Amino acid sequence: MQPLIDHIRREHRRIHGVEPEIIAYAPGRVEVLGNHTDYNEGFVLSAAIDTGLAFALSPLEGDECLLASADFGEAVRFQAVEPGRTDKQRWSNYSRGVLTFLRERYGFRPRAFAATQAGDIPVAAGLSSSAALEISSGLAFAEFFGVTPEKLELAKIGQRAEHEFAGVRCGLLDQISSLFGRNQALVLTDFRSLEVELVPLPGTVAFMIANTEVKHTLVDSEYNERRERCEQAALAFARILGPRIKALRDVTWEDMKRYRDRLDPAVWKRAAHPVGEDERVLAGAAALRAGRPEEFGRLMFESHESSRTLFENSCPELDTLVDAARTIPGVYGARLSGGGFGGSIVALIEKDRATAVSEALAAAFASVYGRRISPRVVVPSAGARIILSPRLRPRD
């Protein structure tokens, strides 16, 4: 993280000519098990990771804000009183939405600022750079305007920004993972109660991310269609089984089998994935607590097969990597991570075999697609935080 903080300090000085007054950092996340279950009020196992987004901010005279992206080499101006959204510098809509809804919630007096955002997390790799931006900007704005949202409140503000300013009907998984992450632990979230529990990882295992570099853009993908199908299925089961069915969380796999002929085939197919995922998440958490990584890995492979055949949010590049992972010594399991349609796989591996696993995955991918990728170990890490503020000593 420290190289990113040093980088954003330099970029802020270069772009705005002043030192940042506030710096906030939010990690990306890796979804380990529980694909598309969050908005179905189900369960997810995830982790904050050791790459993310930083957001630097300093006061500015006047009533016009200046927001710069060090990664895109662009800047945008907007009124402090009304940030609005734009169809041009779309990267700015995430933080503009967060600012809009923070002010709506707390009613603080708008004032101008100069801000810079920068990250070391790959964009569109399935590691949730967008949520990291929402949370890091939200923490910086809250510090700047003197408000103190609770973690879940800030997560919901980030989610609303993504819904209304970016056009993606995401769940809360990404924001919660970024805020609640802990070192060497997974975050188990119940997306009905929004209760969070930490599941420690055995010291002998690690997670590896392999980015296919296939760019997915959830706004333009079929993400929203998948969510609509799940909502249709929940309504259908409520008609069949009564008011106890509030979401797919309340549907069991036995229900899916018993009433398959009562649902539209396309709706059943989409709903079967998150219903099965909920059961895999709970079984996976129990396996980790019992020190059984082999069982957890088997569930990861099952999860990917469900994504591939039922939810159809995989792609050939992701399938190639997961198929290769099944044959590599030292790999317990692997699956796509995130919304799908591109991005990365995550693999649970023996920590001591990380180098050999990385080389084998890269070679398998290159043999099919003629280009090299660089799989890397990701470390479950601490969640989002303020790094620099007038109220605090600078800290790593």
Rg (CA), the chain: 21
Catalytic residue among 174, 220, 261, 278: 174
State the alpha helices, DSSP H only, in 107-220: 129-145, 151-161, 173-180
* Residue 351, both tokens: 């920590």
Other Cβ atoms closer than 10 A to 3: 8
Cα angle vertex 83, ends 91, 111, to 5°? 120
Strand partners, 346: 209, 335
Q: Residue 167: how many CA atoms within 13 Å on its side-chain side?
A: 12
Tokens 């605090």 found at: 392
| Eight-state DSSP code of residue 39 | G
Q: Are 45 and 34 in contact (CB under 8 A)?
A: yes
State how far Cα 120 lies from the chain centre: 15
Q: Which H/E stretch holds residue 195?
A: strand 195-200
Known active-site residue 174: yes
SS3 content of the chain, % helix, strand, coil (to 5): 45, 25, 30
Q: Spell out the residues 6+ positions from residue 108 whose beta carbon is closer than 8 angstroms to its own.
A: 102, 145, 146, 147
Laid out side by side, the sheet with 205-211 consists of 331-337, 344-350, 205-211, 376-378
212 three-state secondary structure? coil
What does the alpha-carbon distance between residue 383 and residue 166 come to, in Å, rounded to a whole number? 23
Tokens 């409520």 found at: 238
Residue 265 burial (C-beta neighbours within 10 Å; 0-12, 13-18, 19+)? exposed
Q: Which H/E stretch holds residue 118?
A: strand 113-119
Q: Are 101 and 160 in contact (CB under 8 A)?
A: yes
- Active site residue ranges: 174
